[in-house]
Amino acid sequence: MKRMLTGLTAVAAVGLAWAGPAAAEGKLNIYNWGNYTNPELIEKFSKEYDVEVTLDGYDSNETMLAKVKEGGTGYDIVVPGDYMIQIMIGEGLLAEIKPNEMENFKHMDPKWVDVWWDPGRSYSVPWQWGTTSFTVDTEVYTGDIDTLALLFEPPPELQGRINMLNDMNDVINAGLRYLGYPRCNGDKDQLKEVTELLLNAKQYWRTMDYSTIEKLTSKDVDLSQNWNGAAMRARAQRPTLKYAYPKEGFTGWMDNVAVLSDAPNMENAKLFVNFIMAPENAALISNFARYANGIKGSEAFMDPEMLDAPEINMPADAPTPDFVKPCPQETVDLYNKIWTRLKQ
């Protein structure tokens, strides 16, 4: 889930103090994925509500959870992924701020209201959502790209030219889909088959890394597992790249804005949650990081090249993105063993 990392950007603390003529009325501390927040959005919010905003970055859901669990972080806003929202509600870390009673809630696309991680939206609102699939150079490989076979049993021209994400869940889930087995799988026989599939496919992979854009644009690889926004950014520099919608299925994910239960600036946090549901503000978020946002009417304010991008607009016949739920600890333990064996 380190999709926002373009390289090894460490946690970067960026203080965006709004230099107003008078002292700001209040404060707001945001803890979001690195390189994911549009500075224009923050500036606009500061001006409108006279609030001094600070922004910190993290590189994985688990890093954020570990820090928040310790308590007393001083953060008001966090932006966890779907499964992490469910975990944090269960652990009592999020405040029930009732976005569904806020003024701008009417702008939210109805399909994102009754989601499994926050049914009815009592805790969180969409930040951005996307898919995890892969990108292929259609000049190098001219056949049908919409199949996971390209990752696990690649044709000769792609062998040794593949980058997989360095992510246990993304790699194992792709393997499970290719073999037609369910996700969060505790069945040892099926997992054994997946392990053999992965171990055999590894000889065709050149790298396992998060920096997908750089790997593709430098021509180190011709195929990379990828997130749709990153795929769009890579295509801008290497126009022959194409984002695949494999028939076996692919992962969908959504990052959501939520407020911590021990937030020091609760009222400002609620203002911010309402603020980003306004279409013109949601569009600012998307224009920066290149993912869709889940707010109706935001298209009118988005960059034109995003509106017809094949990475953002799925073809009608593509499978529905699969939003994978958190797996039980026994399954995570099994996945760990597979992952260690794969990389030993």
Partner 1 sequence: MAEIADTALSDNRLADAKRLHEARATRTRRFLLSPAILTIGIVGLFPLTITMIYSVLSPGTYGGVTWELSGEAYIQFLFERDIFDDTLTFSGSYLQIYGRSIGLAFVTTIGALLIGFPTAYFIASKPREQRNLWLFLITLPFWTNLLIRTYAMLLIIRDEGIINLSLMGIGIVEQPVSILYTDTAVFMGLIYSYLPFMVLPLYASLEKLDFRLVEAAYDLYANRLQVLRRVIIPMAKPGIVAGCILVFIPGLGAYITPELLGGGKHLMIGNLIALQFGSSRNWPFGSAAALILMAVVMVALLVYIRNAGKEGARHG
Minimum CB separation from partner 1 for residue 267, in Å?
Answer: 29
Minimum CB separation from partner 1 for residue 173, in Å?
Answer: 12
- 3-class secondary structure, 236: helix
Q: Per 3-state DSSP, what percentage of the chain is helix, strand, and coil (rounded to 5)?
A: 40, 20, 40
Q: Which of 35, 287, 279, 254 is nearest to 128 (CA)?
A: 254
Distance separating alpha carbons of residues 241 and 310, to the nearest angstrom: 11
Nearest to partner 1 of 240, 340 (CB atom): 340
- 3-class secondary structure, 77: strand
How far, in whole angstroms, is CA 163 from its chain's centroid? 18
Minimum CB separation from partner 1 for residue 239, in Å?
Answer: 17
Nearest to partner 1 of 186, 310 (CB atom): 186
Minimum CB separation from partner 1 for residue 78, in Å?
Answer: 15
Nearest to partner 1 of 20, 160 (CB atom): 160
| Chain contacts with partner 1 (rule: CB under 8 A) | 7-8, 60, 62-63, 65-66, 69, 87, 91, 166-169, 188, 202, 205-209, 218-220, 329-330, 332, 334, 336-337, 339-341, 343-344
Q: What residue type is assigned to position 22 of the chain?
A: A
- Beta bridge partners, 19, equal none
Nearest to partner 1 of 284, 342 (CB atom): 342
Nearest to partner 1 of 146, 222 (CB atom): 222
Residue 99 structure tokens:
């976005």
Minimum CB separation from partner 1 for residue 10, in Å?
Answer: 9
Distance separating alpha carbons of residues 175 and 180, to the nearest angstrom: 9
